[in-house]
A and B are shown apart, each in its own frame.
Chain A
Amino acid sequence: MRKFSEIQKIRHKKLREIIDPKPHGEQKRLADLLGQEPNYTAQFAGKKPIRPISENMARKIEEAYGLPKFFLEGSADDKRKDGININRMTLAIKYANKMERFLKYEPNEEQKARFVVDFYEGTVQKPKDYLIPESDPHKARMVSVGLLARELLDKALSEPGINLTPEEQNEIYASIFNDLYENLQHNGGSKELTNNN
């Protein structure tokens, strides 16, 4: 039996959560929605999948069912004890980077961190809304964590002998974010510091 990565297992599980409650024939309907042959979709939508759900296919399935982006990666609430959903965060970072390319203004570091947080939370706004300061305290804290995570990643990347691909950098960013967020949760932000520099 084929072994799947953690993210693949999550996608299969989330897809089954969509299909299972629906009447018999949902896999056939899914195939129609995707414009694919039922034999093909059955390979990843069946109860015992033999094919992984690629990132592109995951986005197509979400679109076909009218679901929010990253639904198949699990929700922001699907976090392990006090941490974040790293798979979802990695994708949020990737999509936030893409978003930056289509803006009519040069985002500052805080705005970039807000893109990441909003993709992660599934609350992406219009580009002009990011010109207004974040008002949600929870998100503002996550943005602070994102800023520090970015700072630490930049420090690590600036060291000799570190040549990571953009995908690897996104993974590391997500891991650093998770570590910081876990610490923040455990310490209640007791050492939160606002620097004036």
Chain B
Amino acid sequence: MVDVDVIIQEIAARNSFDSRIYDLDYSLNLNLKVVDFSQFKKARETAYDLIVERCAIENIEDEKEKALALSVWWRRLFICSESTPEFFPQVKTIKKKANLVLVD
């Protein structure tokens, strides 16, 4: 059984720096490189989208439609986990990662 709540909380936690991080001067004071800053900003937006999408999926009543939407959501999370593991949790239950094709 997948504990989605734990995954969601982890996504939120990894992207929950002080909102002042959006202030470039403040970020530079923290010795964050501009590239790190932009990567974080993008990851944070994606994390926010993932969480909002997930909430919307929970309200889908049609099971087939929900299953399809969930598959898309998991795929997005797979992609985020692979491309920016520092911002997104690794999905521990993946068994068939060999030859995994990630297309976005």
Total A-B residue contacts, Cβ distance less than 8 Å: 106
B67-A157 in contact (CB<8A): yes
With contact pairs A148-B100, A162-B66 given, residues A176 and B4 touching in the complex (Cβ less than 8 Å): no
Give the CA-CA distance A187 to B103 in the complex, in Å.
7
Chain A, interface size category, equals 35 or more
Residue A33 interfacial (CB < 8 Å): no
One of A6-14, A39-47, A56-64, A167-175 at the interface = A167-175
Chain B residues within 8 Å of chain A by Cβ, number = 28
Give the CA-CA distance A162 to B78 in the complex, in Å.
20
Give the CA-CA distance A147 to B103 in the complex, in Å.
13
> In residues 41-87 of chain B, which contact A (Cβ within 8 Å)?
63-64, 66-68, 70-72, 74-75, 78-79, 82
Residues of A within 8 A of B67 (CB): 153, 156-157, 162, 164, 168, 172
A interface majority secondary structure: helix
Please give the residue numbers on chain A whose beta carbons come within 8 Å of chain B beta carbons, in ascending order.
Answer: 109-110, 141, 143-145, 147-153, 155-164, 168, 171-172, 175-176, 179-180, 183-184, 187, 189, 191-195, 197
